[in-house]
Amino acid sequence: MQRLTLTIFAWAMAFSSFAQITNPLINFPTLSPDGNTIAFAYQGDIWTADANGSNPRRLTIHEGYETNPLWTPDGQGLVFRSDRNGNNDVYVINLTGGLPKQLTFHSSSDSPSDVTKDGKVLFHGNRNYRQIEWDNEVQMVNLSGGTPYRYLNALGFYATQSPNGRFVAFVKGSCRDEREAYNGPANTDIWLYDSQNNAYSQLTTDTHNDIYPKWGNDQTLFIQSARSGRYNVHQISLDANGAKSGDIQAITLFTDMGISSFSVGNRGQTILLNKGDQLISVNVATKQTSDINLTIGSDYRFDPIERKSYSKDVDQIIPSPSGKYSALVIRGEIFITENDKEKSRTINLSNSPYRDLEPQWVNDSTLVFISDRGGNYDIYAVRSADSKEGDLFKTLKLDVSKITSTTEEESGLVISPDFKTLVFMRGGGQLLTASISSKGFISNEKTLLNGWAQPYGLSWSPDSKWLAYSMEDLNFNEEIFILKADGSKSPVNISMHPKLDSDPTWSPDGSKLVFTSARSNGDYDIWYLWLKKSDWEKTADEWKYEDEVVEKPKSEPESSKKKKNAKSDDKKEDDGIAPIQIDFEDIHERLEQVTSFYGNEINPLVSKDGKTIYYRTSSDGWGKPAKVDIDLYKISWDKKDHTAITTGGEEPSSLYMDAKNEYIYATLKGGKPVRFKLAGDKKESLPISAKLNIEFKEELNQIFEEAWKALDQQFYDPNFHGQDFDALKATYKPLAMKASTREDFNTVFNQMLGQINASHMGLYRGDLRKDVQSTTTGLIGVELKPVTDGVQVIGKLPQMPADREISTISVGETITTVNGTPINSGVNYYDLMNNTADERVLLTVKNTSGQNREVEIRPVSSNSNARYKAWVQEKKKLVDEYSNGQLGYIHIQAMGWASFERFERELAAAGYGKKGIVIDVRFNGGGWTTDHLMAILNVKQHAYTIPRGATESLDNNKEFTDYYPYSERLPLPAWTKPSITLCNESSYSNAEIFAHAYKHLGIGTLVGKPTFGAVISTSGRGLIDGSWIRLPYRAWYVKATGENMELGPALPDIVLDNAPDERSRNEDSQLKKATEQLLKEIK
């Protein structure tokens, strides 16, 4: 009996430890007004617990992600944010549970920040007022429902109303909250709106982030500030008129880790905060802290292990040497399947929660790949462990063994055509070859390259003697190189051009090296190189003659044929493929362009006889964007025959030619595996049924490790801005692994990155596992406020449906019904407009005289372009007003090709007949076109011309000194008149490079606020579940000063800010100052 009791006790303890989680990673804990109850978010749902952490109770249960709970004034309900309808909306739920009530219905993102004493919810989101600014609109909606309305004329976040209703504290600034260590112009500050005097004042000016204002009482405001180096709670004292009284005081003094969020409860006497996985209560009067122990035992919305079967989502497909099988990469697993359109059976060879990639066949019985299952990306081999069955597809016994074990990671496996040599990368720039046995073991490693730059697009010559690859230099120009595989010769640059060349591949007949190049018209085209000088020297007629003189073999007895074939086979077996002949003298001059179509032609492959080149199209790439369908094409080497193999945008990718040069294997849209038989260009589907178990906890561990290592190896500063990246991992990884949702996992990871204080980095997306509704709001371009009998139009966007002649609605008019449904105080107008984009909608509109009419209108799904154009038009009008018509204005929206082409067009229009031009890069998120713009603005006129008829005598030539035929002599337009440039803290990345260049090259005066200080070249890596880690890898310095532009903002010559509500008054102080300054310089 005692043994039975002990057994039951042990079982109960084990079960209890499994089901109970102590100090879970929660977010946004908030204390009830009476101080008796805690609300918080966990597992993507809203929970409550007693103030001491006991009795946790789940209030909501939904696949959507729900967070940010706020108490209603009576303490009987919670307002929260949820994406259960596909985007973040505001909801309210009773403390006793039940169905939540949805308060906002717009398909933009809404986030609540306060519930006022009179039962209204303040939230930030975007409707019609915000144009290109990075801050949000501050909106308000009744707890009882109805249509929300804009509450402030300023933009910002986290607005909260003082208990007496007079003041609203809010946040302005564009730096992300996760960047705790940021110290610069784009930091977030606390502002105050005084509703009694309709005035705004700035409460904090520290250059670190200040966020989350919370009122203790009418004269006490608490904030979360990083001014001490860590996020802590600070207190601002105010007088009765909202003026700051005394210094800002620290309430908490944490130094090991900053807090994540806090709330004020118990009538302003207690602060509740979370720091990592700690839940802490703070007595405001004494500043004493006490831990609250929270233990949760609950089920979860999703299974910890999910068994999935894939028929698509293939990342890579590699055919076996015999062509009988294909290796597939699906969600970090290696599968093999038969290349048979009637069979779908698929075998998992790697079977690991970690990431297995880059399969390469050694033979049909052995396959090598890379995997991080050992903590580092190493080379592994998989083979049959059954001595009686060596076929990988048929065996039931698999042997997976580690082939390399190094401190650096291996990648880029490519096996030679004779299957005897493996080439691969180690670390960042070391290129090696090694002999590989039929069992996948490698030996005789030889280092061919060892530098900072990594070779891309490794390709073996048909005789397995040479390698081709592309590599960047320190000017980041990418060239094609040929290298002897035994390392006996130095690499030879065969492309020799200042534009990007990449993706080399050899023709199987050994005559050509085919590659892609951006040298011709700004996008990628297919080019090839003649390897032999004698081939290059042949004329078109000679090639035609050679094709014509090929005779059919004369008839001969079968016995003779067999003997001849036998001898031929013996010779092939003894001699192998004939060695490739390469004439290196002036090899870069033997280039031929094959394609010159609109868009990009990439990923070339070549037929067995070297006469046909296959490629796919792309709209991506560095340069001009091209709207083209992504399809597979073929073209003859002499450009005479050009055929589409797929049509309609089937999106072929992962192209791979089989060993016999009979098929091209690929994946189509959605990762569907296919192959194309080159004889006849016939497409064959390859059905698969790939089964795997996704162990989500282990997968998250893999994701954290890979993302961390990628940054550890590639972050541009090896000193990580003075941070210990290993120590950060030790601190934050345990917290990330405690995350109960993928969203929280990403947040913790990004909080870790925030300690490094760098731009262009972060962990994004991922398998969120939820299946929620999708909602799109139909927009007509009006700003609204609720009135007794509907919603009144208080603003209107040009070029939107309500601005069209056939469906115009004027400011001051009231929309009373939507499709016959009356709009009253409990009805949200946007709810009625959801999923109406591109549909006919019937509105009843009452004019200012009280007369009703019906308006048939067709809403659209987005107003972003209209909002941007409206902003630009407002600025153009202001410049015209401020300069009395003497100056033009151009805003550069982004440093991309579309904006550059707009700049070209507007340069003529905006500058026509003007003395100078105002260039504006405020709210420009960056890109790459600075040097194109500098080429336009840096032109120096060296001559002038006069056509016949322009003057009666050339003695008057001095009248024409400002004229020059730029359009016919330069590839880009030119601006040689005076200019001035505006920037601000939301000028980011390449927009900052532009501001630095404009100032230090002496083009003109820079006006506004210092830029963000966020300049690093970035790349990225896709992770196992579709998430993405950004990798800043290249530093940028100002040549004139040697200053690092990352954390080194461009400093204007004239510094000034705009007031938060200037837009509502149709003013722009920065623009006015720039206009005045340029007119002064012109005089």
Which active-site residues does the annotation give? 760, 989, 1046
Q: Within 13 Å and on the Cβ side, how many CA atoms surround 367?
A: 31
Tokens for 431, please give them. 């290129």
**Own/partner pairs, 197-205, CB within 8 angstroms, 24+ separation:** 200/154, 200/1059, 200/1060, 200/1061, 201/242, 201/243, 203/169, 203/236, 203/244, 204/236, 204/248
Radius of gyration of the chain (CA): 34
**Residue 707: phi, psi to the nearest 5?**
-65, -40
Cα separation, 834 vs 779, in Å, equals 9
Q: Which helix (H) or strand (E) holds 1071?
A: helix 1069-1082
202, amino acid identity: Q
Q: Starting from the edge strand earliest in sequence, which strands make up the sheet with 66-71, in order?
A: 66-71, 77-82, 89-94, 101-102
Cα separation, 741 vs 696, in Å, equals 11
463, amino acid identity: D
Cα separation, 336 vs 364, in Å, equals 10
Cα separation, 500 vs 519, in Å, equals 7
What number of other Cβ atoms are within 10 A of residue 671's Cβ? 20
- Let me know: does 43 contact 300? Beta carbons within 8 Å: yes
828, amino acid identity: N
Q: What is the DSSP string of 398-442?
A: EEEEE----SSPEEEEEE-TTSSEEEEEETTTEEEEEEE-TTS-E
Cα separation, 743 vs 25, in Å, equals 12
Cα separation, 551 vs 547, in Å, equals 9
- Let me know: does 393 contact 325? Beta carbons within 8 Å: yes
DSSP-derived 3-state class of residue 677: strand
- Let me know: does 146 contact 102? Beta carbons within 8 Å: no
What number of other Cβ atoms are within 10 A of residue 35's Cβ? 17
Instruction: Determine whether 331 is exposed, middle or buried from the number of CB atoms within 10 Å of its CB (0-12, 13-18, 19+).
Output: buried
Cα separation, 781 vs 808, in Å, equals 10
Cα separation, 282 vs 291, in Å, equals 9
| SS3 readout for 358-391 | EEEEEECCEEEEEECCCCCCEEEEEEECECCECC
Cα separation, 674 vs 658, in Å, equals 13
